[in-house]
Structure 1
Amino acid sequence: MAFAWASVGLLVATAALAAVVLARHLCAAGLDVSQVTRAEILDAVLPQVKAMLLGTFLAFVIYTEGARRKVSLLAYGAVVMVFTTDMSWSKKKLPDPDALLSVGKRSKKRIIFIRHGESKWNQAFNKSKLPHKFFMSTMTAFVNEMLVLPIFDSVLFDSPLNSEGYSQARILARVIETYSHPNAKERMAREAHPALEQDMAALRGEPGSPSAIVVSSNLRRAAQTAVVALRSRLSGRFSYRTGLGAPEQVKVLPCLQEVSRNVDTLALAPPFGEISLPGIEEHIPEETCVDLGNVLDVSDSAGNKPIFGTGLQRLEKFCTWAAERDEDMIITAGHSLWFRHFFRTFLPRTLSEELAIQAKDLKMKNGGAVGFDLEFGQTQDGRTIFRIDPASISVVHGGFDVKKKKKGALNKIKGALQKLTSGGGSGRPKEKAS
């Protein structure tokens, strides 16, 4: 409200200044308003108006904490975009994870990846490639970014879920909540993916299910998705929990931060600071007892990824962290590029399983969930090797974005056909019809 009144006051003051400057200009020249052209009015008024608006902007930056933090983050984001080494590692030099098969003693951990729902950044830059739609969506994003300048919120930095993203998280929540255990006939049909039962039981937090911990990236869209999609587990709805024990939390791990140079992958929250979840109250039913003020555990949230680190370091750090945990399963809310890099790094080089091939080539769908076994063991020289078992990959919901791959292939085929029909492949121009 204070910002709204400040905006109104600024407009009134700017209009008053313009009127005073114009009146003084007319008096000095001994002219009447009807004798002055529009260009002369603009020449007289615009310099003062620009100076006033610039001064007001600088005042916001100097005296408003949110604006100061936003400007400093903008500068940091520019440095990251230019100098980051986040994607700079050689995939070809990585060892083949199948080297683990020669290790006698191996352990494994079940991992479930949950990709965040659609974000406001996705809506602005990834939704449509049509020029007019892309222009409108990006302009809308930039205008919304300016509107939240004084309050240290953002549409572009640490981009939160949009309405579609929240809808995708709610759909995953309903899939988990309404899942019914199969009868004998259904159980026989599902023998190809026996892990699905355990995955669903863990996502629901049922008694007797594998022990699990829920973790999330330090970016808001991942945490929002985790809390909404796993609201039943976090509230203890299916665990029949009694007593006054501490409610389950989502543990925030900065090693899950997205692999990219874009500013939407920079966290707004300071190290070990509270992570805001804008708009989440509307998507948690009243009967679901989730303490939104205490649902995130930020004790390990040490801040943004380093400028000169690499995504590979964070992938390996997560593997090491997961291997050291006592839980049987790690439920992980994160990002498409991070997940794809993970699959490309720890899946064997030679694959025959269709889901494993998709995992290497494609992004997970927004709001999708995929489970797999992460195997690990130590070689004789003390190195720890991690490997994803290709046969263990199963789709809990959504899976991989196969449609985009098919669309790309169809476009290539159409282009080739157009070249052939237009004579592009014949080496000579088409003869004109007589």
Structure 2
Amino acid sequence: MGCHRVQESLLSSASGYSNYRGVLNWCVVMLVLSNARLFLENLIKYGVLVDPIQVISLILRDPHSWPSPGLLLASNIFILAALALERHLAAGSISEGVGVALHTLNLASVLCFPAGTVLLLPSITPVGAVFTLTTYTIIFLKLFSFRDVNKWCRERKKDLKPPQKNHGDNSVTAKKANGAVGTSEVTYPANLTYRNLYYFLFAPTLCYELNFPRSPRVRKRFLLRRLFEMLFFIQLLVGLIQQWMVPTIQNSMKPFRDMDYSRIIERLLKLAVPNHLIWLIFFYWFFHSCLNVVAEVMQFGDREFYRDWWNSESVTYFWQNWNIPVHKWCLRHFYKPMLKRGASKWAAQAAVFLASAFFHEYLVSIPLKMFRLWAFMGMAAQIPLAWFVSKFLRGNYGNAAVWMSLIIGQPIAVLMYVHDYYVLNYEGSP
């Protein structure tokens, strides 16, 4: 009886075989072992460098002149100004044109006021400045959305013909059908209250709605798990930065000064591993642990803070799925309005990348008090990279290109900024 038949070798693409789970496990084991060796080498060479007190002193240095908390409290001025403007617009006491001008001035102040304060006051530490400017950037995006949605409500109210009660009744019915908490739905302009606005400002979203989907209760076990993750991963992040990143960056300064390109590339590749690991841990810590804690406490129902960006086969797919709150804001308040004004999809997409590049640079250059545009150029470079990957790479090749850009691109920017900051502040000093 014959024991042979026509068939392809298992590793041939024509065989149709696709179960490579064992190979994936092997890659994970090899990754763990190789990084364990690097970490052990780091411990032998530098000893234990983890020092939580050093981090606290970095943040709270000279606390009597540390104005970052004052800046955070001052943000309420711009928040209350936005609410007052919307109330006047709802009452018809100011025209839409005046409202647009005043909102624009208020939003510009949200970005300019903290930036000017950070640049003028040397007592603000870079860490405090990053936290403050990030908070103000979030407030800017939220108030922008708050203004747009209320404007749309006014336009819709003008277009609606009486009786208008049918729209509200339908909304309440749909809300109950979707399983929302049994609270009455807010309609415009009843939403213009301190409670409504501040709920939105603390909610884990950048896109304003009059009525957010709400979860029925606070799940205590879920909340405790996320809180434990928050505490554990923030300590792990600090430890990895002190133990692994800082020595590698410090050892990279001499090759940069000597312009030793082979050593620069070697340091870049050495930095890529801990930098990428820290970025992955930060992603989980912030987008899963932190945002879920905030959402659970506030009973905020929409928990889609990220999608499967790790399967990205194009650069565009990655940026659309790794940070859903920002993506939704860009789509709703930037991309679609540009399309409505007649811009092409490519131009609107490029504009979104450039706007993102501006905010990346804003959050790096101002705290460091130096303007090098590395973050801006890194984000702007995503435009040709997105075109190249979508044009020439598909499937696994596209996914590999996305991973390569994440693993290599970030440490390049880190080294450039650290080098320039070192030259500007420490080189030549006794």
TM-score by length of 1: 0.24
Flag the structure with more relative contact order, 1 or 2, with Cα contacts below 8 A and sequence separation at least 6: 1
Greater helix content = 2
**Structure holding more strand per residue:** 1
Higher CA-based Rg: 1
